[in-house]
Chains A and B, each alone.
Chain A
C-alpha cells in the first residue's frame, strides 16, 4: 500500500492541479491577512471558505483522480497487489496531497504574519484539522461514487450533487424542519442533525471555538454544554473520524466486488 501511496502522491505532485490548489490557498491566506492584518478575523473568513471549498475540491479531485488514473489502476490490478491496498493507497494519496496543499498553502502566510505569537494558534490548528477531515471525508465519498459509476460524466454529476446535498440542501431541509416543529424542544434534534452532516459538524466545531458559543448558548444550554466542553470536542472529532472510516470501509467493500 505504501508503494501505491508513494506513486499516487508522486503522480499528483506532477499534476498542475495540486499546485493551483496550493497557490490558491497561499494567495487566499496572504490576501486575507493583508486586508485585515487581524488573524482572528482572517480565521472567521477562512472558516467560511474552508467549509464550502475543501469539500467541493475534495469531491472534484477524488472523482477526477479516480477516472484519470483508471489505466494506472488496471495496470496495478494485474500486479501481485491486494485490491484494497491499491484503492486505499490512491485514496490516501489524494487526501494527503490535498491536505498538504491546505496546510502549507495557509500555513506559510499565517506563520509569516506571526501566528506563533498569536493566541489564535489553537483556532488555526483546529481549522486545519477540520479542513483535513473534510478532505479525507469528501475524497472518500467521491471515490465511492466513482467506483459505482462507470460513466465519467454521470460520476461527476453525482459527485457535485453529493456536495450540493451536504453543503446546501441538507441545511435547507434542516432549517425547514426546525421551523415546522418549533413547538417542540429542538436542541437535541438539532444536535443530532449536525452529526449527520460533516460540513455542519465542522462548521459548528470551529464556530464554538471562535467564541460564538455565546450565541448558540442563547438557544439553550444543550449546545453550549455539548460543544463547549472537551467531551463535546472529543465526540465531534470521533464522529468526524467515523465519517472518514465508513466511506473508506465502503471503498474497500465495493472495490473488492467490482469488475474491471
Chain B
C-alpha cells in the first residue's frame, strides 16, 4: 500500500531522513518507533505532503504523492499537537473540516463515545488539553479512509478515553484499514501493534512483529527490547 523509496530530508545541517526505504502492506496496525529526533514525525509529514523530501519518492497505491493533494482525502491524520483556531467553537470546527473534505463523515457516535456533547458550543481556545485531544481524535476518526495516521494519539487522555481510543482503533483495523501509530507508550504498542518499524538515524533499523523483536533482542519485555536496540546502536 505504502512504498517509500530512498527518502532523504535535511533541516539545515541536520540530517533527519537518510535514504529511508519502507514498504507497508495494506491492513493492520503499524507502530513507528524510535528515539526522540529519529525522524518519525518527519516521515509522517512527508507522507502527508507537509514536509517536502529532498530526494526519494513516496508511492501510495503505486502513485507518487509528491506535489499532489487529492490523495489526502483518503488519509485520516491525527496531528501530534492539537492546535486549533482558538476562536472557533467545536461544532464550527467539525463543520469546517467536513466542508473541506469531499466525503461523508459521521461524527455523532464519536461525540457520544468521547463525551464531547457538553463542549460542542465552546470555543476551542477555552478547552483543556485532554478535551482538545478528544476533539482531535474525533476529527480523525469521523471520516472513513483507508489509511489512518496517528501521531502520539494517547497524549493527555484519561484512562477511559484511552480505552475508547483502543476500541476505535481495533474497530478500524477490523474494517481492513491500515493504521500507522507513533508513540512512546510501549504498553500501547505491545497491546495494539501488529508490526513495529524502528527508526534510527533516519533509517529503518528494524522492521517486524513484536514477537520477532523480542526474539532478536532476547528480551521478554518490549520496553527493554527497544532500549536494547538503542543501546546497541550507541555501542
Contacts and interface: CB of A to CB of B under 8 A. Distances in A.
A79 B49 CA distance: 10
Contacts of A11: 85, 87-88
Given A7-B96, A82-B69, A259-B11, A75 B84 contact: yes
A79 B11 contact: no
B78 to A, nearest CB: 9
B69 A78 contact: no
A78 B25 CA distance: 22
A182 B178 CA distance: 74
A78 B151 CA distance: 13
Contacts of A185: none
A80 B70 contact: yes
B163 interface: no
Contacts, number: 64
Interface in B10-36: 11
A79 B100 contact: yes
A235 interface: no
Interface residues of A, number: 24
A40 to B, nearest CB: 42
B52 A15 contact: no
B129 interface: no
B101 interface: yes
A70 B84 CA distance: 9
Interface string B66-100: 01011111010101000111111000000011011
Interface in A68-83: 69-72, 74-83
A72 B50 contact: no
Given A72-B85, A259-B51, 8 more contacts: A7-B96, A14-B87, A15-B87, A72-B84, A74-B83, A75-B97, A80-B102, A259-B45
26 contacts: A3-B100, A14-B87, A15-B87, A69-B85, A70-B83, A71-B83, A71-B85, A72-B84, A72-B85, A74-B79, A74-B83, A75-B83, A75-B84, A75-B85, A75-B97, A77-B48, A78-B77, A79-B97, A79-B100, A80-B101, A81-B72, A83-B49, A259-B51, A259-B52, A260-B45, A260-B50
Interface of A: 3, 7, 11, 14-15, 69-72, 74-83, 256-260
